[in-house]
Amino acid sequence: MDKFVIKGGRKLTGEVTISGAKNAAVAILPAVILSDEPCIIENVPLISDVNICICILTEMGAEVTMMDKNTYRIDPTKICNFCVPYEMARKMRASYYFLGALLGKFNKARVSMPGGCPLGDRPIDQHLKAFAAMGAEYTLSQGMIDLKANKLHGCQIFFDVVTVGATMNAMLAAVRAEGLTIIENAAKEPHIVDLANFLNSMGANIMGAGTDVIKIRGVEHLHGATYAVIPDQIEAGTFMAAVAATKGDVIIKNVIPKHLESITKKMEKIGVNIEQYDDSIRVWVDGPLVKANIKTAPHPGFPTDMQSQIATLLTLAEGTSIITENIWEQRFRYVDELRRMGADITVNGKVALIEGTGNLMGAPVKACDLRAGAALIIAGLAASGITEIEDIYHIERGYDCMEGKLRALGADIEKVSVPDKADAKNSEIKKAI
């Protein structure tokens, strides 16, 4: 069991380079299945969700070569296994993209119900609705989703809710379907556009990605391509919050400032200085931080995946801030941990009231999901004393070498391996028996 040990109170300074976007990479890697030739994917983040995607592709029969730590050559032409078993799917929410990709290429797929961060009810009814509209039949039994179709055809899909996953899955299934598919009420996140750009670079015909109507004219074949994943907007936002929380001064490189707009606007309101360049930003704080009200919303609104990090920043600001979480019902689970560090936060349903106390104190805490873990790192960096964060595997699912990047900015953070006391006790008992 690993944990992060952080000695707080050091200002972050210097330069950091943002990695490729997790939520784009975990869709683009399965999308390679749709190609009839090998593809090269660059700027892939080194995170455990990507490792799982690569394991799944390899198990299916794809030939995967790691060309350098962020570049993979994937040859999908020998894929002969259309099943993603429970042991792999349970570790990652995005395993559902194998449904769309396998269905789109082979007209069949068998994927275990996806796992991922515990954020409350995470239905996939809209994904299944899209596949059914294209002519697929599905059955759900013993935790497995089975999909099959004689042939997929174009159709009109209107999503009942704005959903990133179902929008991407519908695109994956539709690119090789016969005729025109129109997706209405589509999600508009940067990773939707990135997936569309990758598919188009293989010969797909997708128009309108990034707006709420996406039109896809099916093509018979997709060819190989070399493609670089966009920078991770949430990793960039997390570093922005960490720099602000420590009152530091950092140049954040490899970002698309446009993707950060909603985060930048809120941070400026809080009192953070931000200067934008072509593909980097400078973030610094030289005055007091002040309260702000935030409501999470689908893109271009304020991203739910930045909610816990900005909440941590607001615990250090003057005044009372209000955060309304509109996407995930259990995205305030980190609040109990922040309270252990001295934060004054009251949660009532989907609304959190944060009384800025201006300071936090180090404490032993647990990451309960990926972004909660990021929030605790920010809290630990800003707090007085020592913070120890357990269950950091959540953080490693989505952040590429977080502690290394923070150390390079002057943070005092170490990853420490600790023997699991429960495991040790179990082996002691077994020996005794």
Q: Which of residues 50-69 bind ligand EPU (CB under 6 A)?
A: none
Q: Which of residues 229-258 bind ligand EPU (CB under 6 A)?
A: none
* CB-nearest residue to ligand EPU: 165
For position 122 contacting ligand EPU by CB under 6 A, the verdict is: yes
Please state the closest distance from residue 235 (CB atom) to ligand EPU, in A. 10
For position 199 contacting ligand EPU by CB under 6 A, the verdict is: no
Residue in 39, 53, 117, 155 annotated catalytic = 117
Q: Report the residue number, 3 or 331, with the smaller CB distance to ligand EPU.
A: 331
Q: Report the residue number, 201 or 330, with the smaller CB distance to ligand EPU.
A: 330
CA 75 → CA 71, 222, 284, distances in Å?
13, 13, 44
Please state the closest distance from residue 153 (CB atom) to ligand EPU, in A. 21
For position 26 contacting ligand EPU by CB under 6 A, the verdict is: yes
Active site residue 39: no
Q: Which of residues 268-307 bind ligand EPU (CB under 6 A)?
A: 304-305
**Cβ neighbours for 385, distance < 8 A, ≥ 6 positions apart:** 7, 8, 361, 362
For position 172 contacting ligand EPU by CB under 6 A, the verdict is: no
Q: Which of residues 360-379 bind ligand EPU (CB under 6 A)?
A: 370-371
Q: Report the residue number, 26 or 365, with the smaller CB distance to ligand EPU.
A: 26
Please state the closest distance from residue 375 (CB atom) to ligand EPU, in A. 11
For position 309 contacting ligand EPU by CB under 6 A, the verdict is: no
For position 398 contacting ligand EPU by CB under 6 A, the verdict is: yes
Of 161-169, 173-181, 262-270, 272-280, the segment contacting ligand EPU by CB under 6 A is 161-169
Please state the closest distance from residue 430 (CB atom) to ligand EPU, in A. 37
Q: Which residues are catalytic?
A: 117
- State the residues that interact with ligand EPU by CB under 6 A: 23, 26, 93-94, 117, 121-127, 161, 163-166, 187, 304-305, 327, 370-371, 398
